[in-house]
């Protein structure tokens, strides 16, 4: 069974600092730095491919050195790729602390695809969505544009609304279209009312990751399921939420019930915490 993913991939510079900067003029020394692939959709695609799941990622990349780095790394890690053209590849500067706190500074963000590129990739995207067993639509303008076409396929749609606060308008079309909704608790407080409301709206699964406290999910019958985080030595927290969703999705496609799928997600997330990249598979690709 295969997965089609649409959403961001980026080239990131990660800078480790002992504390996040205060909003006053000052100087800090970095503890370490490195460059790597970023982007929530890249993280999910890497995870699913590493689990042996046939995965196709549609993302926007510029005709620039960073776009080449992203494409080469993903391809080397076994991710099939459709790249839509845009003026500049997405780039972030992530300030990270040893405890996992993060500030992401967008150095560049892709615009919409130009019309010739959109026309050239339309047939490929249509075929990919029609033949996939599950469609993952991550937050982004280009993914949002695909929502009507994704719904036409009748395939299950999974989405990740990250730190959704319960009110942001941009997230609503993704939530309303999705059969499975994943998020984290950074912006919403108690996630259970939202998770139950999402299932009552028609989703079959709604899940909120809780960092070191694991995750909580609500199934189609309104039952709550909790899973503990898997203890591990944490090197970097980037990509853990994406890995959790990828592990849960892979297990679901293999026939797991909700508790088993959430446990698989927790195990996969723990494996990602052990690397400074989005997934351990990139250790051999990027060093």
Each residue's pLDDT tens digit, 241-280: 999 999 999 999 999 999 999 999 999 999 999 999 999 9
Q: What domain range includes position 26?
A: 2-286
Q: What is the pLDDT of residues 210-238, one digit of tens each?
A: 999 999 999 999 999 999 999 999 998 88
What pLDDT sits at residue 120? Answer: 54
Residue 116 confidence (pLDDT): 43
Q: What is residue 112's predicted lDDT score, i.e. its pLDDT?
A: 56
pTM of the predicted model as reported, rounded to 2 decimal places: 0.94
Q: What stretches in the chain show pLDDT beneath 70?
A: 112-120
Write the CATH number for 225. Answer: 3.40.1190.20
Q: How many domains does the chain have?
A: 1
3-class DSSP string for the chain: CEEEEECCCEEEEEEECCCCCCCCCCCCCCCEEEEEEECHHHHHHHHHHHCCCEEEEEEEEECCHHHHHHHHHHHHCCCEEEEEEECCCCEEEEEECCCCCEEEEEEECCCCCCHHHHHHHHHHHHHHHHHCCEEEEECCHHHHHHHHHHHHHCCCEEEECCCCCCCCHHHHHHHHHCCEEEEECCCCCCCHHHHHHHHHHCCCEEEEECHHHCEEEEECCCCEEEECCCCCCCCCCCCHHHHHHHHHHHHHHCCCCHHHHHHHHHHHHHHHCCCCCCCCHHHHHHC
Residue 271: the pLDDT is: 96
pLDDT of residue 124: 86
pLDDT at 119: 52
């Amino acid at each position: 069974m295969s997965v089609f993913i649409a959403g961001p991939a980026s080239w990131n510079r990660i800078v480790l600092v002992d504390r996040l900067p205060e909003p006053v003029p000052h100087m800090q020394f970095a503890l370490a730095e490195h460059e790597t692939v970023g982007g929530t959709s890249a993280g999910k695609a890497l995870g699913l491919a590493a689990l042996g799941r046939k995965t196709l990622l549609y993302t926007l990349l510029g005709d620039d050195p960073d776009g080449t780095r992203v494409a080469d790394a993903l391809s080397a890690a076994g991710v099939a790729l459709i790249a839509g053209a845009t003026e500049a590849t997405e780039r972030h500067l992530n300030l990270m602390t040893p405890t996992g706190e993060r500030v992401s500074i967008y150095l560049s963000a892709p615009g919409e695809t130009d019309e010739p590129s959109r026309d050239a990739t339309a047939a490929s995207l249509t075929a990919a969505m029609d033949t996939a067993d599950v469609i993952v639509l991550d937050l982004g303008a280009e993914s949002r544009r695909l929502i009507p076409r994704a719904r036409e396929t009748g395939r299950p749609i999974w989405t990740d609304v990250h730190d959704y606060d319960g009110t942001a308008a941009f997230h609503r079309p993704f939530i309303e279209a999705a059969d499975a909704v994943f998020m984290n608790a950074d912006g919403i407080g108690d996630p259970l009312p939202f998770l139950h409301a999402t299932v009552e709206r028609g989703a079959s699964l709604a899940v909120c990751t809780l960092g070191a406290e694991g995750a909580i999910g609500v199934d189609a019958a309104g039952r709550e399921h909790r899973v503990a985080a898997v203890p591990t030595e944490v090197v970097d927290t980037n990509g853990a939420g994406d890995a959790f969703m990828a592990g849960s999705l892979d297990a679901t496609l293999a026939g797991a019930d909700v508790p088993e799928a959430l446990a698989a997600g927790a195990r996969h997330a723990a494996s990602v915490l052990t690397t400074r990249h989005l997934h351990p598979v990139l250790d051999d690709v990027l060093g």
